[in-house]
Amino acid sequence: MSELKVYNSLTREKEVFTSITPGHAGLYVCGPTVSGESHLGHARPYITFDIVFRWLMHLGYKVRYVRNITDAGHFEEEGRAAEDKISKKAVLEKLEPMELVQKYTNLYHWGMKQLNNLDPTIEPAATGHIIEQIGMIEQIIADGYAYVVNGSVYFDVEKYNTDYSKKGEPYGILSGRVLDEMIATTRELDNQEEKRNTNDFALWKNAPPEHIMRWKSPWGDGFPGWHIECSAMSTKYLGGQFDIHGGGMDLLFPHHECEIAQSNVCNGYIPARYWIHNNMITINGKKMGKSYNNVITLTQLFSGDNPVLQQAYHPMVIRFFILQTHYRSTLDFSNEALQASEKGLKRLWEAYDNLKKLSPSGGNAAANGEIDERCIKLLREMDDFMNDDFGTAKVLANMFELVPVINGLKDKHIAADAISASTIELLKEKMKLYIEDVLGLNVQVGSDNNKLDGLIHVLINMRKDARARKDYATSDRIRNELLTLGIQLKDEKDGNMSYSLS
């Protein structure tokens, strides 16, 4: 098997992955802001890093996967004034702020389960780590890279850039931005006149009287800035330097850039060795987000309850749709694309079901060496594709090249001994590994599929009994009524009967 290579946003090239501690991997991913329901745009990073998590474990790493919950009162929005989203939404919904947080955290967890994402090893919340954030801020002040104004604390970006540029680690090392050329694009807070420079960012904000979520600090009552929580929690659970930091491309600047600066001052290292960023899901070329008023929530996707949607989509269709495109490529939403994914997943899953029922008929030698060798080649390539920056799209492409072979063996269009017994077993082993364990595709998730399968087989047996009695009217009625429900029966050559959902 080839070595795992990942695209590192920090160096802007693919690099061989070497963990700091052999056999162990530390992964930190920026989690959701739980001031509202998760949407399709949120699904992509969490599916992407679920794949990273699964693949690292498959390679034998003991992975500590940390994914935070942002539940602190202050959140910043790109290009807009800062606002206390939790408190604002709590007033609208007539809930206590932490009641609102719990509501949307529960919904987020439900959505992740529907998408069949594995739970992270640790899921820390920002409000549970105020002490750690205050401690880190105190250290940054003591080292001379932050200043206090009217009970607020700001990070001195210009001083950091001057000093750390000498070490080859300027502010902008991740994003490629040059401080002297920057327009004030940092997500800004109120009271701009307090800051020495427009690019300085808040580590702690003084809380006005109306601010509900507030904590005591050496600088007075207030609340943490956005960036400091991830530095504090990643340091606590993964150490001063860890292996992988992940998140959406929209977090690369300023959030991850600011994390690097904070953590570098406190710990003496750029916090992660590898920085992985997934690209966006767009609608008509525009990023999906609440500020763009084009959000489709996960519950709407699964129920079809959104005017943009032509139908409801199974969670596994959403997962499959996302995995068909490489995580660093833009993925544009459309009903047509999701419907194509629905058909593709159905075709793949039916072939996988057929494969599980196949019994090797040949011996160790294959009657058709060309088909046998091609199957082996396609299966072996999957490992290389995953080791090449988690290439799920290429893995799926190879699976679809194997589908006609599997169906051909099942329908006897391909001789049973065309493929050796060892290749059939390898095919079963690899397809299970990739479909279920690595890609996390599970048609049972979020559905009553077992019950449906059982009910259809009851009707199939009733139809068989009717035909045995030469009651063809009942037999045809069962077939035709199932067909009107989108369930197509097929008489097999061996006398058995199968079905497919259309």
Judge whether residue 437 has pLDDT over 90: yes
Q: Show Cβ contacts of residue 156 under 8 Å, excluding neighbours closer than 6 positions.
A: 144, 145, 146, 147, 196, 197, 200
Quick one: pLDDT at residue 408?
95
Could you read off the pLDDT of 223-244 as tens digits, one per residue? 999 899 999 999 999 999 999 9
Cα 17 to chain centroid, rounded: 20
Q: Which residues pair with 274 in a beta bridge?
A: 244
* Residue 22, both tokens: 């052999």
If pLDDT is split at 50, 70 and 90, which confidence band does 210 have?
confident
Give the residue carrying structure tokens 């990073």.
45
Q: How far apart are CA 194 and CA 115, in angstroms?
A: 45
Strand 242-248, strand 24-29: pairing = parallel
If pLDDT is split at 50, 70 and 90, which confidence band does 184 have?
very low
Q: Which residues pair with 64 in a beta bridge?
A: 26
Q: How far apart are CA 197 and CA 456, in angstroms?
A: 69
Mean pLDDT of 448-467: 77
C-beta separation of 32 from 41 below 8 A? no
Could you read off the pLDDT of 261-288 as tens digits, one per residue? 999 999 999 999 999 999 999 987 787 8
Rounded to 5 degrees, φ, ψ at 126 are -60, -40
Q: How far apart are CA 304 and CA 310, in angstroms?
A: 7
* Residue 307, both tokens: 């005017």
Rounded to 5 degrees, φ, ψ at 29 are -125, 130
Pick the range with the lowest mean pLDDT from 15-19, 48-52, 464-468.
464-468
Could you read off the pLDDT of 111-164 as tens digits, one per residue? 999 999 999 999 999 999 999 999 999 999 999 999 999 999 999 999 999 999
Q: How far apart are CA 393 and CA 334, in angstroms?
A: 18
* Residue 480, both tokens: 């035709």
Could you read off the pLDDT of 14-44 as tens digits, one per residue? 999 999 999 999 999 999 999 889 999 899 9
Could you read off the pLDDT of 310-357 as tens digits, one per residue? 999 999 999 999 999 999 999 999 999 999 999 999 999 999 999 999
What's the whole-model pTM score?
A: 0.86
